[in-house]
Amino acid sequence: MKQQVFLNIGEAYFTSGFYEIRTILGSCVSVCLFHEKTKHSAINHILLPGSNDKIEEKKSSRYGITSMELIINEFVKLNIPRNELKAKIFGGSQTLKLTTSHAGPKNVSFVKSFLQTEKIPIVSEDTGGELYRKLVFHTDSYDVFITRIPANLSTEILTQERHFETKVRERMVKKTAIYTF
C-alpha cells in the first residue's frame, strides 16, 4: 500500500518512490511533473503567481515562480533535462464568492506560460470553473484523480480558505521547505 501524503499550500514534493499525494485546490494550482525514464515525479501547491515584493517572493514557495523553480531544479540536480519532463496541471477555480482577485485564472495563466517557456508539455489538465477540487496524485503511475467538491460544501470550504489566507498573509515571510524522498 502506498504511503499517503497531504500537500499544503506552499509545499512541494519530489520523489522516485511510490506515494499517493493529496491536496485540495480552489484558486490554487498544482503542477504534477514527471520523468518516465527515471521514474521521478514532483508536485507543488501554488497560492499566487508572484508578489510585488521580490525578496518575499524568493523566500516562499507559495509563489508560482519560486515553487516551479524549486521542483524543476530537483530534476536538474539529477541531470534530467527539463524538455524531457511532462506536466499535468489542476485547479485555478474562480469561486463565486472570491470573484474580485481573479487569482485562479491568473495562477493557470502563469503556470501555462511558465511551462511553455521551459518547453515542458502539458499532457493533461483540469483547470478553471467554479468548484473546488480534491486531487490525488499517484507517483508510481503519474495518474491524477480529481473529485469536484459539490457546491453545498463550498461555503464551509470558503470560510476555511479565508481563515487560512489570513494566516498565510501573517506568515508570508516564513520559509517553506521542499521535501525529497
Q: Which residues form the domain of 66?
A: 3-180
In order of 61, 93, 122, the CA distances from 88 in angstroms are 19, 16, 6
What's the CATH number where 157 sits? 3.30.1330.200
Minimal CA–CA distance to 114: which of 78, 79, 40, 63?
63
Q: 131: closest CA among 161, 86, 175, 174?
A: 161
Q: Is the dihedral of CA 41, 45, 48, 52 positive or negative?
A: negative
Q: What's the pLDDT at 134?
A: 93
> Beta strand pairing status for 19-25 and 122-127?
unpaired
Is the pLDDT at 173 greater than 60? The verdict is: no
Mean pLDDT of the chain: 85
Number of domains the chain contains: 1
For 12-59, what is each residue's pLDDT tens digit? Answer: 999 999 999 999 998 999 999 999 999 999 999 998 887 666 666 677
The cell numbers describing 23, all together, are 491536496
Q: For the segment 106-127, what is each residue's pLDDT rounded down to a tens digit?
A: 999 999 999 999 999 999 999 9
pLDDT-derived band of residue 62, with 50, 70 and 90 as boundaries?
A: confident
